[in-house]
Structure 1
Amino acid sequence: MFTVKLVVFVCAVASFCGAFHTCPGHKHYEEMKCTPIRDKDEPKDACPSRYECPDFKVLDRTKCHLDGKQFSLGNEISNSLPTCTSSCTCDGSDDEFGFSCKFDECPEAKSAPRFDCVYQFTIDSCCSTNLLCDKAIIEKLPRCWSDGHEYVKGNLIYSPNAPCYKCLCDEKYDNKTDISQNPSCNPVQCGIELHQLSYLQLGCIPVYFNDGLCCPFEFKCPIETDMIEAKGIKSEHVCKYGNQTLNIGDVIKTTDPCLECSCQTPPMAQCVRTITTEKCH
């Protein structure tokens, strides 16, 4: 029997990627390196109606996997990891292998914030790289504007209109440039394959918050009490949930009143968790 697994992602409060930045709830497909498919009559800038994804179930479950590479027990990686992840080691036993990771600890997180100072970052840094408290110097710093807010050089910018991107206020930042083309902006990495490959292999599905955050914050695995409610129509392309198949529009009924799961964009069903009502928070 499977259970619902809670997974907190380091970058869940960060930002969206490339061609995906107008498609909420598609981030897992991007990180799984799925190919977006659009119907012939769909505009090129429309969100894909479905994806073609690699089959993670065929991977050797006695190894760890990342970016097409295979790792044995004890192998350590420290390159090309999501922000705030310092290193990861292949760990596990039997057929349950995955990466165990160490995360950066920022000094500023251990002390009270200094609101009269400026914490400066680089686009790839987890922790601040400089602290400026001299008002005269701060007043001379270059300014950036985004969504009606002012930033100074070194500030990180998270736009609610592009929640899967983070930007850096610097001399190259231009709020008139599309964020996917902005030289001062990078897509956020959720680390789904790094942290949650085993759940993808089990047929579990991503759960997103309903407040527009980029990364799924947990994966829901099938349990006996889940029921499929046929609300859609029979379609050529379907969603998978464990060993079950859903047509587009079908709903997964759960015992959780704050969780809505359905088939919207094959090949995976997905869920949205409500956190913005009195009952669900």
Structure 2
Amino acid sequence: MRMGAKRSVGLISVLAVALIGSALTDMGNECNMAGFYAELGCTALPGAADNSTVCPDAYTCPKLHPDPSMCYYRGVPYKDRSMIPQAEVKNPCSLACQCSVSGKPSFDCAAVDCVETFDDMQQECIKTYDLESCCSTGTVCGKDAVAALKTCEVDGKTYREGEAFEPKNSRKTCICTAQWNGTIDDSASCRDINCGLEIHYQDKLCQNCAPIFLGSDSVCPIAFTCPTNKSIVIRGLNLRGVSSQCVFWNMTLSVGDEVTVDEECTKCTCNVPPFVSCTKKIACNE
């Protein structure tokens, strides 16, 4: 939801009496905010662990939008109607991204429409992918043909040659190849996942809205949520003693605080400042 500069946001602070167990942040899960902050050029504050399973306590981020008449991507300013070089985008699903400053600066990209075909004979089929392609590049059908493909064992699952997968705690996307050696450092089989945060959510980032992740293991946010005049801050327990705070539009939250949002089945918390982060349940009855 976009909000005008003059619109005020009501802030109601509610003191919550919470059990210590529920106040603890789940730092044992993959730190999806680490990839989020890395893509924005933010730096982990000194003294905090920075790996795939433990989040730093907080980050410091550069000013993402110093000039409102320009678009910004990875610190580089773009004038109205100028395009980001495709080599800099590093995401095959974001093509021909052009700056637009009509209203709030944002990038408009060409839509990638993946047309998938289905086998009329209902044979056993798998779709195959290329590392630098957004859509599937082929199909292998037939029990014998599929069985003849090489396989890759990753995180307890078996992938056939040409299938795509994302190894846990890696923030990479990989393709199973005949040469797969089981390491994600192989540039011929894996590449870093680029969520295109500044391309697709530039206005939301500038408004200090919160990224929404689907479940606890997702790498890229599925959307952003912004506060409304009904948003309520629920004060929690800052058990880690982190002094940095989160900013949610014009609200300030301490680590452990939650804020209510309009999205169903979504919990938004100040876990790793300066952004509030949200997790949406995969199923509402979980």
Q: 2:94 is matched by which residue type in structure 1?
A: T
2:77 aligned partner, one-letter code: Q
Matched, 1:62 2:64: no
Deviations 1:219-247 (A, max 9, x none): 11122111222223475211111122111
**How far 1:168 sits from its partner (Å)?**
0.9
Distance 1:138 1:235 in 2: 52
1:76 partner SS: coil
TM-score (norm 2): 0.76
1:135, distance to aligned residue in structure 2 (A) = 6.2
Structure 1 gap segments, 5+ residues each: 4-20
Shift of 1:100: 0.7
How many pairs were matched up?
253
Distance 1:91 1:115 in 2: 46
Q: How does 1:38-49 map to 2 (within 5 A)?
A: 38-39=46-47, 42=49, 46-49=54-57
Q: 2:192 aligns with which of 187, 193, 205?
A: 187
Residues 272/107 of structure 1: CA separation in 2 closer, same or farther (3 Å cut): closer
The CA RMSD measured in Å over matched residues stands at: 2.9
Shift of 1:257: 5.4
2:249 maps to 1:242: yes
Contact 1:238–1:246 (CA<8 Å) still a contact in 2?
yes
Q: Which of 200, 206, 209 is residue 201 of structure 1 equivalent to? A: 206
Distance 2:99 2:51 in 1: 40
Structure 2 gaps, min length 5: 4-28
The answer to whether the 8 A contact 2:123-2:141 is kept is no
- 3-state SS in 1 of match to 2:203: helix
Q: Does 1:73 align with 2:80?
A: yes
- In structure 2, do the counterparts of structure 1 residues 115 and 72 end up closer, same or farther at CA, with 3 Å as the change threshold? farther
Deviation at 1:102, TM superposition (A): 0.6
State yes or no: 1:33 paired with 2:38.
no
1:86 matched to which residue of 2? Answer: 95
Taking the TM superposition and a 5 Å limit, the aligned residue runs for 1:155-234 are 155-159=163-167, 161-162=168-169, 164-175=171-182, 177=183, 179=184, 181-183=185-187, 184-210=189-215, 212-233=217-238
Whole-Å separation in 2 of the counterparts to 1:134 and 1:49 = 51
Return 28-37 or 126-135, whichever deviates more: 126-135
Equivalent residue for 2:136?
128
What is the Cα deviation at residue 164 of structure 1?
A: 3.1
- Seen in structure 2, the aligned counterparts of structure 1 residues 67 and 75 have a Cα distance that, compared at 3 Å, is same
CA displacement 1:136-178 (0-9 Å, x = unmatched): 655443222223333232221234x337321111133233x3x
Give the TM-score taking structure 1 as reference length: 0.77
Deviation digits for residues 83-139 of structure 1 (CA, Å, limit 9, x no counterpart): 222211212314x1211111322332xx32565344332212112333344766554
* Aligned equivalents of 1:243, 1:206: Cα separation in 2: 16
Match of 1:112 among 118, 121, 133: 118
User: Contact conserved, 2:214 with 2:281, CA < 8 A, in 1?
Assistant: yes
Q: Render the CA deviation track for 1:24-58: whole Å, top value 9, x for unaligned.
A: 34332121111123526x5877421111111224x
Residue 8 of structure 1 corresponds to which residue in structure 2?
A: none
Give the secondary structure class of the aligned counterpart of 2:180: coil
Whether contact under 8 Å (1:87, 1:103) holds in the other structure is no
Stretch deviating more after TM superposition (187-196 or 165-174): 165-174
2: CA distance, partners of 1:85 / 1:256: 26
Amino-acid identity (%): 27
CA distance in 1, matches of 2:242, 2:144: 64
Aligned partner letter, 1:129: T
Cα–Cα, structure 1 residues 132 and 272, in superposed 2: closer, same or farther, change >3 Å? closer
The answer to whether the 8 Å contact 2:213/2:280 transfers is yes
- 1:252 maps to which residue? 259
